[in-house]
Structure 1
C-alpha cells in the first residue's frame, strides 16, 4: 500500500476531468486514449487488470451467477408487489434476466477493480457524476449497447460504486446536456425498411395467431414464407408487437423500494441499491403499459411453440408476451444465432438463453437431450466456392474486437484481455514472408470501441493493407485465395467452412477456453494444420502453403477433419427449409 502521496484515480479516458495537482492512477487500459496523438497518460501508474488471473476469473464467474440467482429472487418479489401481479421467478427471468446478467457482471468488474485500487493506495480520490445528471436506459439492449461505448454511463457506474465503497470524491460532475447527447448518439441503430419490406412484413406478420411463432430467428423473409408454406401455415413469423408511447418519466416512489431489498452480501447490496437508478424504465415505469399492449395477442391466440434467436435480448414486449404464453403452456425453443456455442466454455449469453427456454436448437452440437441439432439457419443460402483461377490472389485476414470496458466475464477476449490479442496480431505479421505480406489485406472489426486498432497496426505492421468494411464479408471471403482468422469461436469461421473457402485459424488458448466436448474437433484441426496456437506457427504454415493453397485445402485427410468440425458446429443441408419444416411438423403432431 502506497502511503506517502496523494493520488487521483481515473476511471475513464476523459482527461479534462482529471485534476492537475495530483498524481494520476489509471484504473485500467480503458482510461488511455489509444490514438497516435494522445499519449499523455502513458507514464501513469495503472491498476493491474484482475481477469488475467484465471483462477480469480473462474471464481468470479461462479460468484456472479450465484449473485444473479439471489438478486433475481428478491427482485421478482418486488416487481410483483409494485405491479400488483403474482408471477414466479421463471416469468421474471425471461423479462429482466438478460439485463440482470449483464448488469451484475459489469458491476462486479468495476467493483473488483475499484477495491483493488483502494487496497493499493490509501490516499486516493476519484470523481463521480452528480445525481442530477444520472441517466436511466429504456431497456436491456440499450443498456448493453451504451455500456460498451459510452464513457459517461461508465463514469456514472464507477462513481456510484466509488461512493458505495467510501472513496473520497474529488468532485461531482454535472454535465446533463453533454451526457444526454452522448447517450442519444450512442443508441442502437434502427434498420430503415423499404415500403415493399414493410408491406411483406405486414402480410407475413401472423405469428401471434399461429401454432408456431417465429421471432428474430435469422431466417430470411423468403425462407420464412417457404417454411410457413411447408408447415401448412401452422408456423408463421412475428415481425413486431403493438407499439405505444410509454411514459418514461422517473417514478421515484416506485424506485426507492429497490434500495431496501434484503441481503447480507455487500456486493448484492451494491447491485440492489444502484438498480434504483439503473434498472431500465421498461421493467418499472413502462412495464404495465407494455403488458397491457400485448394482452390482445394473448386473447386471440396462444401458440403451442415459440422459436426465437435473440427475442429475449432485444425486445421487452416479446419477453413479456413469451413469459405470459409460457405460463399458459407454450413451449419455447431458443435457437443459436452465431459462433462460440458448443465450442467455448458456456458464456453468459448461452447460459442465459438456455435458462429461459425449454429446448435449444443448435448448429450441429448437442450436450443433452434439450439441445436439438438442425441445419444452421444463420448459414442458409451459402454456396460452396469452387476452386477456380477466377479467385483473386489475396489472403484476407479477419479480426475481432469488443469494448475496452468489461461488460461481461468470460473465457473469451474482453476488455484488457485484448492487449495480448493485439500482440499476437503483430507477431503474426512479423513472421510472414515478404510475398505473403504483399498479398494480405486485413479486415478490421466494424467498430473500433476507442482502441485505435488501425493506427496501432499501421504503426507496427508497415505495408499492411486494409479492406473497406463496406464490402460484404461473404463476398470478400468467397473471392479471396485464402482467409486467415486470428480468433476462435467466431461466426466467420463457420461461414468460411460452409463456403468451403480455404481457411486457417489461430488464437491464444489463454483467451479462449474450449469446452471438453469440443476439444477432439479442435485437436483434429490442429493435427492437419488448419488450427494453430501461436502466431509464429500459423505464419510458418501460411508461408509454406502460400503457393499451393488449393492443393493443401483439398487434401483428403484435411477435408475429413474440416467436415467433421463443420458437421458438429456448422451443420448444413441441401434441403434446410424442408428439414426445419419436418422438425416443426413432428413437434406439432408427435406420433
Structure 2
C-alpha cells in the first residue's frame, strides 16, 4: 500500500504493456516488508511435543481474545493454556533462474493475464526459494498430537509461518475455523476478504449474523468484544471524533472510500466539526488514524481547524474513553461496535455512497437512523449532537435508542451471557 510498492507495480505495468519509458534506479528506495521472513509461529507448534494440544484438540492462534479470556477458554477445552510466540526463518534471496516460469492464463480476461504475468516476479520468497527450508522446520517442530481444529482470526493472511503449519494440520484432517476479527464483515455490501475467508474455512464464526448462501457461517460470540467492561455514561467530558484513513490507491476491495474518494471522507469530517456549537467544539478531540498513508491529516486539521485538539491515534483509546461524554464514529468498522459493547454513548455518520451496506444489514442500520444514532449527513449529525449535549446520558438511556442499539448488537456485535461456553460449542460441536 506504500508509495514505493505502488511505484514498482506501476513501473512494471508501464514497461510491459505500454510504450511509456521506464528508468530503473537501483537501490533508490527499499520496499517495505520482508517477503523472505516468516514472522510468527504459534507457541504450541514449538513446544507441543510436551503435549500442549490436548483435551478438545483445539489449537488457538491470534484469535483476538484478551489473554485472560483465552486462558479461560483453553481451560474449558481441558487444555493447558499456551503462550503464543514468534519463530522466524532465515531470509531467502530471490533467484531469477527459479522464477523463469509462466502461469498459463491465455484464456483469461486482460486483468487475469496481467496478474498471471506478475506472479512469478512477486511471489514471496518464503513460498519459492525459502519454502523447502521453512517447510522442513515446520514439519520437524510440528505437534506430536495433531489438533482436531485450528482456529485463528487473522493469521490466515498475516502470518506465513502459521499458514504453513495450519496447512499441514488440515492435510492431516484438522478443521480450519476462522473467527471474524473486526467490523464491516456482514454489514458491507461486498468484501473480497470476507468472501475469501468463508471460502477457505470449514467454519466461519461471525459476530452474530448469518449468511443464507453460506451455511458454514455460524454466529458466535465476538472474540474481540468478550470481556469488555461496560462504562457508566458521563454527564460531563469530551466529544471524541474518531477518524479512519486509507491508502491513497486501491488496496483491498471492499465497501469503503477508495483512492480519491477519501477526499470526500475528509471533507465530511471538517463539515461535522464546523457545524458543532461552541460548547461542543471546546470539548472536541479529533482522533486521527495512526496510519496516515501520506494524507498529512494532522496538517490538514491545523490548516482548517487550528483551534481543535487532535490526537495522533497512538495514545491509548481506553484512556480517552475514560474522559469521553460522546463517541463519534465516522466509518463502518470495529470502532462503534466496541463503543456499543462498552455502553459508551455513540453517534455515527458517513456517506452511504462510499459505505455501501449489505441488503441483510440495511434494516438494522435503519433502526439506528430512526433512533438518531446514525446519520448520512455530517451537518445533520452535528446539529443532533448540539441538541443532546447538555444531557447525553438521558438521550442514550432512552428506550428507542437502547432498543435499536441492542437489536443491532445481537446481529453484529454479539457477546451473550456465556460467551466462552458458546465459543467452546462453536469450536467443538460438528
Match of 1:167 in 2: 19
Residues in 2 aligned to 1:570 and 1:474: alpha-carbon distance in whole angstroms:
18
Match of 1:229 in 2: 75
Tell me if 1:460 matches 2:304: yes
Match of 1:183 in 2: 32
Contact 2:276 2:386 in 1 (8 A): yes
Is the alpha carbon distance of 1:306 and 1:431 closer, same or farther for their aligned partners in structure 2, counting shifts above 3 Å?
Answer: same
Residue 237 of structure 1: CA displacement? 4.9
Match of 1:155 in 2: 7
Classify the secondary structure of the residue corresponding to 2:32.
helix
Is the alpha carbon distance of 1:460 and 1:186 closer, same or farther for their aligned partners in structure 2, counting shifts above 3 Å?
Answer: farther
Tell me if 1:250 matches 2:101: no
Contact 2:36 2:130 in 1 (8 A): no
Residue 468 of structure 1: CA displacement? 5.1
CA deviation vs aligned residue, 1:76-120 (integer Å, no higher than 9, x gap)? xxxxxxxxxxxxxxxxxxxxxxxxxxxxxxxxxxxxxxxxxxxxx
- Pick aligned residue for 1:327 from 168, 171, 176: 171
Contact 2:66 2:227 in 1 (8 A): no
Match of 1:568 in 2: 411
Please list, as runs of the form range in 1=range in 2, the aligned pairs for 1:58-97 lying within 5 A after superposition: none
Contact 2:240 2:284 in 1 (8 A): yes
Residues in 2 aligned to 1:484 and 1:205: alpha-carbon distance in whole angstroms:
49
Residues in 1 aligned to 2:323 and 2:313: alpha-carbon distance in whole angstroms:
15
Contact 1:213 1:237 in 2 (8 A): no
Match of 2:283 in 1: 439
Match of 1:472 in 2: 316
Residue 388 of structure 1: CA displacement? 4.6
Residues in 1 aligned to 2:179 and 2:210: alpha-carbon distance in whole angstroms:
12
Match of 2:121 in 1: 277
Tell me which of the two structures has the higher relative contact order, counting C-alpha pairs closer than 8 angstroms and 6 or more residues apart. Answer: 2
Contact 2:36 2:90 in 1 (8 A): no
- Pick aligned residue for 1:239 from 84, 88, 97: 84
Residue 325 of structure 1: CA displacement? 2.2
Tell me if 1:371 matches 2:371: no
Is the alpha carbon distance of 1:407 and 1:567 closer, same or farther for their aligned partners in structure 2, counting shifts above 3 Å?
Answer: same
Is the alpha carbon distance of 1:270 and 1:206 closer, same or farther for their aligned partners in structure 2, counting shifts above 3 Å?
Answer: farther
Is the alpha carbon distance of 1:228 and 1:414 closer, same or farther for their aligned partners in structure 2, counting shifts above 3 Å?
Answer: same
Residues in 1 aligned to 2:365 and 2:191: alpha-carbon distance in whole angstroms:
18
Match of 1:386 in 2: 232
Contact 1:361 1:373 in 2 (8 A): yes
Contact 2:208 2:410 in 1 (8 A): yes
Q: Which runs of 5+ in 2 are unaligned?
A: none
- Pick aligned residue for 2:59 from 213, 217, 236: 213
Residues in 2 aligned to 1:503 and 1:299: alpha-carbon distance in whole angstroms:
46
Aligned length, in residue pairs: 423
Classify the secondary structure of the residue corresponding to 1:429.
helix
Is the alpha carbon distance of 1:347 and 1:204 closer, same or farther for their aligned partners in structure 2, counting shifts above 3 Å?
Answer: farther
Residues in 1 aligned to 2:180 and 2:131: alpha-carbon distance in whole angstroms:
28
Classify the secondary structure of the residue corresponding to 1:481.
strand
Residues in 1 aligned to 2:367 and 2:416: alpha-carbon distance in whole angstroms:
23
Residues in 2 aligned to 1:470 and 1:456: alpha-carbon distance in whole angstroms:
18
Is the alpha carbon distance of 1:316 and 1:462 closer, same or farther for their aligned partners in structure 2, counting shifts above 3 Å?
Answer: closer
CA deviation vs aligned residue, 1:531-586 (integer Å, no higher than 9, x gap)? 00011210111111111211111001211011001111111234322332344454
Match of 1:312 in 2: 156
Contact 2:49 2:143 in 1 (8 A): no
Residues in 1 aligned to 2:265 and 2:103: alpha-carbon distance in whole angstroms:
40
Match of 2:366 in 1: 523
Tell me if 1:505 matches 2:357: no
Residue 398 of structure 1: CA displacement? 0.7
Residues in 2 aligned to 1:551 and 1:495: alpha-carbon distance in whole angstroms:
20
Contact 1:310 1:337 in 2 (8 A): yes
Q: From the two aligned structures, give the one with the greater helix fraction.
A: 1
Residue 362 of structure 1: CA displacement? 1.1
Contact 2:271 2:379 in 1 (8 A): yes
Is the alpha carbon distance of 1:492 and 1:565 closer, same or farther for their aligned partners in structure 2, counting shifts above 3 Å?
Answer: same
RMSD between superposed Cα atoms in Å: 2.8
- Pick aligned residue for 1:424 from 258, 268, 291: 268
Residue 274 of structure 1: CA displacement? 1.9
Residues in 2 aligned to 1:529 and 1:249: alpha-carbon distance in whole angstroms:
56
Is the alpha carbon distance of 1:244 and 1:434 closer, same or farther for their aligned partners in structure 2, counting shifts above 3 Å?
Answer: closer
Match of 1:63 in 2: none
Task: Report the structure number with the largest CA radius of gyration.
Answer: 1
- Pick aligned residue for 1:358 from 202, 212, 221: 202
Residue 202 of structure 1: CA displacement? 6.5
CA deviation vs aligned residue, 1:174-202 (integer Å, no higher than 9, x gap)? 131x323x6369999x89xxxxxx99x97
- Pick aligned residue for 2:186 from 335, 342, 348: 342
Is the alpha carbon distance of 1:292 and 1:461 closer, same or farther for their aligned partners in structure 2, counting shifts above 3 Å?
Answer: same
Residues in 1 aligned to 2:126 and 2:7: alpha-carbon distance in whole angstroms:
23
Q: TM-score, normalised by structure 2?
A: 0.90
Contact 2:105 2:112 in 1 (8 A): no
Is the alpha carbon distance of 1:537 and 1:186 closer, same or farther for their aligned partners in structure 2, counting shifts above 3 Å?
Answer: farther
Classify the secondary structure of the residue corresponding to 1:378.
coil
